[in-house]
Amino acid sequence: MGRGLTCFQAAPRTQDRHPGLLLRELYVAVYRTVGRSWDVVVTRAGDTGSAVLRSMDHHAWPELYCASVIADPRHQQLLWLVPPGTVRTWANDHGLCLGNAGEVHVPPLHRTSPPDAYWVRPMRHQLVSPLVLERELSLASLYDPRPAVIDLLPDRPSKS
């Protein structure tokens, strides 16, 4: 696949909120339900994650960078926001796709650096292409052992 296939417009759905409202709501860190506006692919960070991120940036033309990726330094994970329904077709063992499976922590849009979870690639009007992510993740993790699923599960919100 060539350039320009990594990021694309999120398809509007009638039950979803307007993207502008969603962006405004993301001004504060919250837990968001997965599977409505997007699914999430959770991968390792580290060297493999950095290689995948660089590769995805390369394919993001005409944008300078891929969009909609959260880094979680505490768990050494990257969370890639992909179109809803990706969970039905995801087949890469080096990433865990979550759709309608609870909630994930979403940092405020202005947080772009650690120590807490942050946007390593800010959310714009685009989501990550699961086809390109799956391919690039396979190439980058060719010699890596498959992670245990439990290591890729995001934290659950605590009940107060």
pLDDT digits (tens, 9 = 90+) for 29-79: 566 767 678 899 999 898 889 989 998 988 877 676 788 899 999 889 999
Cis peptide bond upstream of 83, omega within 30: no
Mean pLDDT, rounded, of the chain: 75
Per-residue pLDDT tens digits for 3-25:
333 333 333 343 444 554 444 44
Cα(33)–Cα(38) distance, rounded to whole angstroms? Answer: 9
Cα(100)–Cα(40) distance, rounded to whole angstroms? Answer: 10
Task: Give domain limits for the chain.
Answer: 18-142
Percent of the chain with pLDDT over 70: 65
Q: How far is CA 131 from CA 93, 141, 159, in A?
A: 14, 16, 36
